[in-house]
Amino acid sequence: MIDEAVLDFTPGSLMLLNAILAVVMFSIAIDLRPRDFKALAQAPKPLIVGLLSQFVLLPVLTFLLVMIVQPAASVALGLILVAACPGGNISNFITHRAGGNAALSVSMTAFATVGAILLTPFNIAFWGSLYEPSAEILRQTHVDPVTIAIIVGLMLVLPLVLGVTLNTKRPAVAARLRKPLQWISMGIFVAFIVLALAANWAQFLAYAGGIAGLVILHNAIALGGGYIFATLARLSPFDRRAITIETGIQNSGLGLVLIFGFFGGLGGMAVVAAFWGIWHAISGLALARIMSRTEAPR
């Protein structure tokens, strides 16, 4: 049974993944300056809509999907956990490729990362407890919200602060580092996921087929939900593209860290997060290609 399967992931591998995600976050943060946040403070509506889409709408839609499909407990909790994570580290790159508001995308990633300290553990515990099979896993697992907050802070918030500080104090250094660091960090991250999957290839193949369709549907709901929500909020197409992509590109790397750190590499959860990490890049780049064919009015 998938609920009883456990993927192999050593403590050393977990520490390496933490370090990689911190570098990825730093590479995003050196695109930011304090003035970017001031501009959004003067016109905060797109940012507020985007954060509501990510931390409220997506968990609600995910819970409805779980209640309709009634998947295995670990799969359901994997979907809920991914939906509870902040935006993924490739969302800014994809938004730029899509011709959307890249500044809004980067700022959403930054604010969502800080908000994740409280909102990620809350959403996992709240929505996971409402589906009885996954609630049973939560009852058997000691998930310490404070420890999750510390992990999120060290992995994501600290690199964010350091990156913004470097770009403010030493913009020339940040400019030289920006592109190489983004490509190198993403390359290392992808390579790490591939190697982790290779080490558990038999189990991944055994379960991925049944989960793939559900992850693809979940991702489509996330992208569609973000688009509709931004449309109902009457945002410009320029902002709407950013919110669509931010809602549909989740930080599955953080999800894997939490799964292996707190849930012992539980098979259903780990396969969901790993497949999300692969699929959202494919769907996001495909959507960006379609969107980029027309210029988005601002």
CATH number at residue 144: 1.20.1530.20
Helix axis angle, 252-262 relative to 73-84, nearest 10°? 130
**Is residue 296 one of the residues assigned to a domain?**
no
Say which residue the tokens 């908000």 belong to: 115
- Top pLDDT among 114 and 225 is at 225
Count of structural domains within the chain: 1
**Is residue 297 one of the residues assigned to a domain?**
no
pLDDT of residue 36: 66
- What average pLDDT does the segment 88-110 reach? 83
- What average pLDDT does the segment 123-130 reach? 94
Domain that holds residue 135: 2-291
Three-state DSSP at 84 gives helix
**Is residue 109 one of the residues assigned to a domain?**
yes
The pTM (predicted TM-score) of the whole model is 0.85
Say which residue the tokens 């953080």 belong to: 254
pLDDT of residue 270: 83
| Helix locations, the chain, DSSP H | 11-29, 34-42, 45-52, 58-69, 73-84, 91-98, 102-130, 132-140, 145-152, 158-169, 171-199, 201-232, 237-248, 252-262, 267-291
- CA distances to 18, 47, 95, 253, 280 from 142, rounded to whole Å, are 20, 34, 37, 21, 29
**Is residue 298 one of the residues assigned to a domain?**
no
